[in-house]
Amino acid sequence: MSVAGGLAKSFERADALGCESMQIFTRNQRQWKHAPLSFAEIEDFYRASQESGVKRVVSHASYLINLAGSAEMRERSEEALLAEVQRCGQLGIGDVVLHPGFAVEGSSEEGLEKIAASLSKVLKETDDCRVNILLETMAGQGSSLGDDVTQFSRLLDIMEDDPRLGFCVDMCHVFAAGYELRSSESYSRFVSVLSRQIGLYNVRCWHLSDSKMEKGSKKDRHAHLGQGEIGLAPFAMLMGDERFAEVPAILETPKDGCGDEGNLAILRKLRGA
């Protein structure tokens, strides 16, 4: 949801669409530097949240952050993530979605160890904060980490199941990574993988979009629901899955064409609302 004109404006836009949850950027996601939040911004955001029908707000961390990168990159990334968690704490936002990173130096295992060390550092420095960090499943393009759910299982092991570490499952990304979703059997299999590897209680957000690319393409190309290679069946199954009834589900579909209004209408029809 756009925050043009001020963070609090996002609630007005979300309410106009009848949203129950929304995702925002609390700052410019493509720049390292950012101004601290003013008291007025925090107060306006809180007041808008109290007047809104939106039940859950999720933040998406900067795209620049790479906790698996070089020493210099990790230092800048840790500072940016720390600032984001603190901003969310000030705004009363409980979850920050984060791309795991790119293992540009060394193996995937070394990259995971770097991510775990950086996450542990940020979580420790914000141990008085209730904000969770949700690592997002990725499509697997290049040296990106997070396309294999077992990597998240490994992170949980390294971090000893830190309760503030959770996960965001992106339907387009997992399909592009090679997970089949298009039948009731394959959907059930995939959810079983999530349950076995990370625990369903750790799935704390969903990103919803169809995929322009075929299964296993490793390419992140989002499409309107029902207009890509995934089709509507998996979204219908997710909408009817009581295990995720209270988990925020965020549209990341294109803004052109039928837009958010059209995609939300599809989800509501699939849910039977």
**Residues tagged active-site:** 30, 60, 63, 99, 136, 170, 173, 207, 220, 222, 252
DSSP 18: T
CA distance 53 to 212: 32
CA distance 160 to 214: 36
Radius of gyration of the chain, Cα coordinates, nearest whole angstrom: 18
CA distance 96 to 62: 10
CB distance 57 to 21 below 8 Å: yes
Distance of CA 183 to the CA centre of its chain: 24
**Cα dihedral sign for 100, 110, 68, 96?**
positive
Determine the residue type at 87. R
CA distance 160 to 47: 37
CA distance 24 to 92: 13
CA distance 153 to 255: 34
User: Among all chains, which residue has been given the structure tokens 């039940």?
Assistant: 55
CB distance 61 to 96 below 8 Å: yes
User: Among all chains, which residue has been given the structure tokens 């009363």?
Assistant: 92
CB distance 138 to 147 below 8 Å: yes
